Amino acid sequence: MTNYIPLCVPHLFNDEKKLVNQCLKSNWISSSGSLINKFENQIAKYTKSKFATACTSGTAALHLAMKVCDIKKNDEVIVPSLTFIATINSIIYVEANPFFVDCDDYFNIDMVKLIYFLNTNTYKKNGFTYNKITKKRIAAILPVHVWGNAADLRKLHKLCKNKNIKIIEDATEALGTFYKNSFKNKHVGTIGDVGCISFNGNKIITTGGGGMLITNKKNYYKKSQYLSNQSKDDAIMFKHNEIGYNYRLNNIQAALGLGQLKNFKTILKNKKFINNFYFKNLNNNKNIQLVKRPAYATNNNWMNIITIKSNKKIDLKKIINDFEKKRIQIRPVWYPNHLQKPFKKYFRLDLSNTNKLISSSLCLPSSSNLSVNNLSKVCRELNQYFE
């Protein structure tokens, strides 16, 4: 569609085409090719994690994370309501229960409320921590580094060690985000037990569809490789001692990912430019506020979000349609998970900030290849609309 400004589309360079063509020529196109290991090694090196397992999607990586952390039926996983539904689905896949908590103004899990809850509403039994409200074992906490904003895991990390609670990080949107001094410049996804990255089409780098599980634990890595490859115990005689999954990324996708990594610096630079441009050009508008970035971490600037300041009920659908007519795609933040039909029955704490942010926030065009002309148009239209 010409002149249409989409929300967030892939930015492909020549390297991707070259590498994919080479891959096709080699005839190694399935999940047995050597490029998959190469892609895993490069992601592990970049994120400074010891191990990486390439998967068919971020959702598959999250599911494997649940499995390797041994999250089981009737366990509880504490999770923000404000996230993409795949985060919650991964908990349901292993028949565990989400327990919803609120978010802060960076759209990340609210650490103050969460730590208060952990300190006042849990008890220890047989070496595990239980929720006083639901009486379930709190097996894991699943923070999401939303939009590339790092969730502040500094205090939680220690607390979870004491309480024997696993941390599974949904870093699907946050490749390229590093903590600053507090965590010695560690990449998000490497603080907890396991981290998950997505390479879906809208993500900061893409393999068309794909994901990566990163971990510093060798046994988790080995288990994730095993499970992602149909739990093959004897590849020649087709022996499988466990239920496995067909979750392995294929070689063509890995070629695409390797090409994207070659250009990752440029993409990050473009994303930073776009974020700065929005800040500069929307800063004077009193009716909208660009979501700020936390100071304790760098930011990959994957997505730019505004919150609308108004005392009246905001008709987000109308705004989205009005911008669609201007050929600009803006999108709401996700529908809150605690209100999704399959999840209504699960427990939740006070979610006032989640409800407030969801009813007043919009995602802005943020593609790495967004031109300055189009960026200017988006800002001009936003300033006119919200004047």
Ligand X SMILES: Cc1ncc(COP(=O)(O)O)c(C=O)c1O
Q: Which stretch binds ligand X (CB under 6 A): 111-119, 170-178, 219-227, 237-245?
A: 170-178
CA-to-CA distance for 254 and 236, rounded, in angstroms?
Answer: 25
Nearer to ligand X, 107 or 278 (CB): 107
Q: Which stretch binds ligand X (CB under 6 A): 52-60, 105-113, 266-274, 315-323?
A: 52-60
Nearer to ligand X, 170 or 193 (CB): 170
Least CB distance from residue 249 to ligand X, whole Å? Answer: 11
CA-to-CA distance for 142 and 99, rounded, in angstroms?
Answer: 10
Nearer to ligand X, 273 or 334 (CB): 334
Q: Which stretch binds ligand X (CB under 6 A): 37-45, 55-63, 226-234, 322-330?
A: 55-63
Nearer to ligand X, 282 or 357 (CB): 357
Residue 259, helix vs strand vs coil: helix
Q: Which residue has the tokens 């050597």?
A: 34
Sketch the per residue contact string, 82 through 101, with ligand X: x for CB under 6 A, - otherwise. Answer: -xx-xx--------------
- 198 touches ligand X by CB under 6 A: yes
Nearer to ligand X, 209 or 285 (CB): 209
Residue 121 DSSP one-character state = S
309-332 burial, b if ≥16 CB within 10 A, otherwise e? eeeeebebeebeeebeeeebbbbe
Which of 40, 110, 152, 170 touches ligand X by CB under 6 A?
A: 170
Closest CA to 384 of 291, 289, 310, 282: 282
Length of the chain: 387
Closest CA to 186 of 40, 50, 42, 68: 50
Q: Which stretch binds ligand X (CB under 6 A): 129-137, 167-175, 213-221, 237-245?
A: 167-175
* Token couple for 357: 């942010």
CB 142 within 8 A of CB 170: yes
Least CB distance from residue 334 to ligand X, whole Å? Answer: 8
Greatest C-alpha distance within the chain: 69
CB 163 within 8 A of CB 157: no
Q: Which stretch binds ligand X (CB under 6 A): 169-177, 340-348, 349-357, 366-374?
A: 169-177
Least CB distance from residue 325 to ligand X, whole Å? Answer: 27
User: Of all residues in the chain, what percent are helix, strand and coil, respectively (each to 5)?
Assistant: 40, 20, 40
Which of 173, 207, 285, 357 touches ligand X by CB under 6 A?
A: 173
Nearer to ligand X, 159 or 303 (CB): 303
What dihedral do alpha carbons 222, 225, 227, 230 form, nearest 10°?
-130
Q: Which stretch binds ligand X (CB under 6 A): 2-10, 165-173, 216-224, 354-362?
A: 165-173
Nearer to ligand X, 83 or 129 (CB): 83
* Token couple for 313: 């009920």
201-212 burial, b if ≥16 CB within 10 A, otherwise e? ebbbbbbebbbb
- 149 touches ligand X by CB under 6 A: no
- Judged by CB under 6 A, the number of residues near ligand X is 14
Least CB distance from residue 80 to ligand X, whole Å? Answer: 10
Chain-centroid distance of CA 106 in Å reads 14
Least CB distance from residue 141 to ligand X, whole Å? Answer: 15
Residue 167 DSSP one-character state = E
Nearer to ligand X, 137 or 148 (CB): 148
- 200 touches ligand X by CB under 6 A: yes
- 144 touches ligand X by CB under 6 A: yes
Backbone angles phi, psi at 376, to 5 degrees: -65, -40
Least CB distance from residue 220 to ligand X, whole Å? Answer: 19
CA-to-CA distance for 248 and 54, rounded, in angstroms?
Answer: 6
Nearer to ligand X, 159 or 252 (CB): 252
Binding interface with ligand X (CB under 6 A): 57-59, 83-84, 86-87, 144, 170, 172-173, 198, 200, 211
